[in-house]
Amino acid sequence: MGVKCQQCGTENIDGALFCDECGASLSAAAALQLPQAAEQAEPQEATLTEAMQVAVGKACPSCGHTNPQDARFCEDCGAALVEVPEVEKPQGAPAAPAVAPPAVMAKLITDEGNEIQLDFGAKSELLIGRADPVSRVFPDVDLTPHGGYEAGVSRKHCIIRYANGQFTVEDLESTNGTKLNGRFIQPKVPHQLNDGDELVLGALRLRFSSR
């Protein structure tokens, strides 16, 4: 039994993919004309839909040529018929988490034993003085609670810096001056500050500790 063209009715030989008369595809027609006896004799045979897929074949996405279902490349143009899985790109080693440098701490100790913390974790210099909301001056270290106003501490009295493992103190032309170990220091000039040194801001005496 041949394959009848659904387009023009011409009988074509078994296995023909295109009609000899009009050139129409015979794949679907051949699949529809599969003998029912064969299906009954072989119960494990592919279903009609599977048979149609086998007969129709695999169309090339590049040129449209019909290829066998198991073909990996087009017989006409050589284009790939199967999707090549994307190779997973190797991921580099995870970046090490950033480690914050340890905070540098120091302190000023009053005669009463009160400790005023100096935290150099966020900045390398701290303004020492007395807060004044009226003039909008807010130093990093406010000595008002420690008798700064009564002792004549200026709003911007001095700066204590930390750099390269060393502390320095610099007077900011304060009204009553800054003493380091009993001597007035020159304004606007950094002076080395060591553990245990005595600072006198105005009349407020403090001991510097880097521990």
What ranges do the domains of the chain cover?
Answer: 3-67, 105-209
- Check residue 200 and give its pLDDT: 97
Tell me: the pLDDT tens digits for 185-211? 999 999 999 999 999 999 999 999 998
Tell me: the pLDDT tens digits for 100-110? 556 778 999 99
Tell me: the pLDDT tens digits for 154-182? 999 999 999 988 999 999 999 999 999 99
- Check residue 43 and give its pLDDT: 47
What are the E-state strand segments in 120-165?
A: 125-129, 141-142, 156-163
CATH number, domain 105-209, options 1.10.760.10, 2.60.200.20, 3.30.360.10, 3.40.50.1820:
2.60.200.20
Q: Are 157 and 137 in contact (CB under 8 A)?
A: no
Range with the lowest mean pLDDT among 14-28, 125-139, 152-166, 196-210?
A: 14-28
**Predicted TM-score (pTM) above 0.75:** no
* High-pLDDT (> 90) share of the chain, %: 46
Q: Are 115 and 109 in contact (CB under 8 A)?
A: yes
- Check residue 54 and give its pLDDT: 46
Ramachandran category for residue 181: left, alpha or beta (phi over 0 → left; psi -120 to 50 → alpha): left
State whether residue 40 is helix, strand or coil: helix
Calpha distance 200→207 (Å, rounded)? 9
In the block, tokens 């001597």 appear at 183
Position 140 pLDDT exceeds 80? yes
- Check residue 88 and give its pLDDT: 59
